[in-house]
């Protein structure tokens, strides 16, 4: 298994994508998109913006769990992480997105529907 983006269709017909690391773990999840083309544009935005540390917004949940969001240069959120057990684990997640997103292939899981 290699790093990749997976495009999926939600039960309401909208599209979203996950970025998976080489170990097949989801490291970034997108917002919902009304069209597959918009989801693909979102993937392109992640690939472009992932290397830029200033576009990661480091946050903490109400349960005080660290997580991050990746924003485009216009400030729009283009991906969310999982909740992490520690700040250092979150920073490792950010490093993984920076490494895995640029150039990652896209697998369209909606094509088999």
CATH number of the domain bearing residue 79: 2.30.29.80
In a domain, 96, yes or no: yes
Give 59-84 pLDDT, tens digit per residue: 999 999 999 999 999 999 999 999 99
In a domain? residue 78 = yes
| Those residues with Cβ within 8 angstroms of residue 105's Cβ, 6 or more apart along the chain or in another chain | 2, 3, 4, 5
Give per-residue pLDDT as tens, 11-41.
Answer: 999 999 999 998 899 999 999 999 999 999 9
Number of domains in the chain: 1
- CA 82, 4, 59: angle at the middle one, nearest 5? 20
The predicted model gives 51-59 an average pLDDT of 97
Asked whether residue 81 is assigned to any structural domain, the reply reads yes
Determine the Cα–Cα distance for residues 6 and 14; give it in Å rounded to an integer. Answer: 14
Residue numbers of the domain that contains 35: 4-108
**Is residue 26 domain-resident?**
yes
Answering whether pTM is above 0.85, one says yes
Of 8, 34, 32, 21, the C-alpha closest to 80 is 32
Does 24 map to a domain?
yes
Q: Which helix (H) or strand (E) holds 69?
A: strand 66-71
Residue 113 in domain: no
In a domain, 31, yes or no: yes
| End-to-end Cα distance, the chain | 22
């Amino acid at each position: 298994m290699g790093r990749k983006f997976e495009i999926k269709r939600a039960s309401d017909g909208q599209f979203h994508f996950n970025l998976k690391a080489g170990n097949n773990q989801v490291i970034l999840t997108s917002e919902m998109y009304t069209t597959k083309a918009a989801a693909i544009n979102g993937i392109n935005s992640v690939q472009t913006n992932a290397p830029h540390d200033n576009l990661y917004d480091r946050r903490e949940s109400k349960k005080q769990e660290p997580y991050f969001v990746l924003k485009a240069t216009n400030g729009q959120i283009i991906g969310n992480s999982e909740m992490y057990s520690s700040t250092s684990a979150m920073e490792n997640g950010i490093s993984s997105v920076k490494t895995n997103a640029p150039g990652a292939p896209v697998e369209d899981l909606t094509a088999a529907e």
